[in-house]
Amino acid sequence: MKLRSVLILTILAATLTLTSCASNKKKTDGGDNVNVDSTTLDNGNNAGGVALELNGDSDSNRAGALQTVYFDYSSAAITGSTRDTLNANAEFLKKNASVKVQVEGHCDERGSVQFNLALGEKRAKSVKDYLLTQGIASSRLSIISLGKEKPVSFGHDEESWSKNRRGNFVVTEK
């Protein structure tokens, strides 16, 4: 009898624990009681239904319509396709004046740590400088270099390396 009571209490405690911390969602009372994730901004700032989250980044599609830009090997130059992406990012930032971002400069695995940190900084700076020419205020942009320390592709071939040579946008304020 005592064993049965302990078993029932254990099951009850586990059930209460699981149900009490199951969600961070809250209901809005805008007529049809829709669940909204409290970490996602949904005030018209997500273009095409893409989430704009604080600390969300363009690599994971959680930075609104901001898109990651890519660089050629050992280069920080803004190319034609990079320019097109940055123009779209500038338009998004103009429409969302409260959004601030940090541009992360990344590199592929080749080269020394020091070389890649310097190249990552040049990439982030060239992205920031381009956005400044498009009318985005310097106070809304910060940069950091992560060198080769945060790859998105782990292969050891050109396809993987090209995905890691990038400028990623991280939302720091929305």
User: Which residues touch 96 (CB under 8 Å, ≥6 apart)?
Assistant: 45, 52, 64, 174
Query: First vs last Cα of the chain: how many Å apart?
Result: 58
CA dist., res. 143 & res. 168, Å (int): 10
For the chain, strand residue ranges (E) read: 25-27, 35-37, 40-41, 52-53, 69-70, 100-106, 141-147, 166-173
Provide, rounded to the nearest whole percent, the portion of the chain with pLDDT above 90: 71
For 101-136, the pLDDT digits (tens) are 999 999 999 999 999 999 999 999 999 999 999 999
CATH topology of domain 49-173: 60s Ribosomal Protein L30; Chain: A; (3.30.1330)
pLDDT value of position 34: 33
pTM of the model: 0.73
Least trusted range by pLDDT, from 11-20, 123-132, 158-167 = 11-20
- Given CA atoms 102, 166, 134, 98 in this order, what sign does their dihedral have? negative
Residue type, 1: M
- Given CA atoms 51, 54, 59, 63 in this order, what sign does their dihedral have? positive
Of residues 81 and 26, more confidently modeled: 81
pLDDT value of position 51: 84
Over residues 135-160, the mean pLDDT reads 97
User: In Å, how far are 23, 74, 98, 133 from 38, measured between CA atoms?
Assistant: 10, 40, 18, 34
User: Which residues touch 79 (CB under 8 Å, ≥6 apart)?
Assistant: 71, 72
